[in-house]
């Protein structure tokens, strides 16, 4: 596993219940502010293997990227977040000022 992927897995593993991070935020914390699509790839390919809380990663607007009206995964993500106490507004968005998590990452941890 390359260093960026390892960092992404570690960061996502650390998101506590009831909190969320955006794809871009995870990427930036892992050292690549432009790596949001790579975070998607990691989630897609490694969530089951590493038991990642994939449902806690959302888009930068506070929404679920998989439309809830088209795929069960989007509905499942919303259900999981709601079961952890995360509330959605009438537009289906999460208030990031309340639920966004900022991990405390020491720079030396990633060296």
What are the tens digits of pLDDT across the range 6-45? Answer: 999 999 999 999 999 999 999 999 999 999 999 999 999 9
- pLDDT tens for residues 71-95? 577 789 999 999 999 999 999 999 9
For 77, the token pair is 């993500």
Q: Is 74 helix (H, G, I), strand (E, B) or coil?
A: helix
Confidence of residue 110 (pLDDT cuts 50, 70, 90): very low
CA dihedral 56→39→106→6, nearest 10 degrees, is 110
* pTM (two decimals): 0.87
- Residues 58 and 61: their CA atoms lie apart, in Å, by 8
């Amino acid at each position: 596993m390359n260093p960026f992927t390892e960092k992404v897995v570690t960061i996502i593993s650390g998101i506590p219940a009831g909190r969320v991070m955006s794809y871009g935020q995870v990427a930036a914390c892992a050292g690549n502010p432009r790596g949001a699509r790579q975070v998607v790839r990691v989630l897609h390919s490694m969530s089951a293997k590493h038991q990642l809380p994939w449902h806690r990663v959302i888009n930068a607007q506070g929404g679920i990227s998989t439309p809830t009206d088209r795929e069960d995964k989007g509905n499942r993500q919303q259900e999981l977040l709601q079961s952890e106490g995360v509330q959605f507004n009438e537009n289906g968005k999460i208030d990031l000022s309340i639920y966004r998590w900022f991990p405390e990452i020491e720079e030396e941890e990633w060296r």
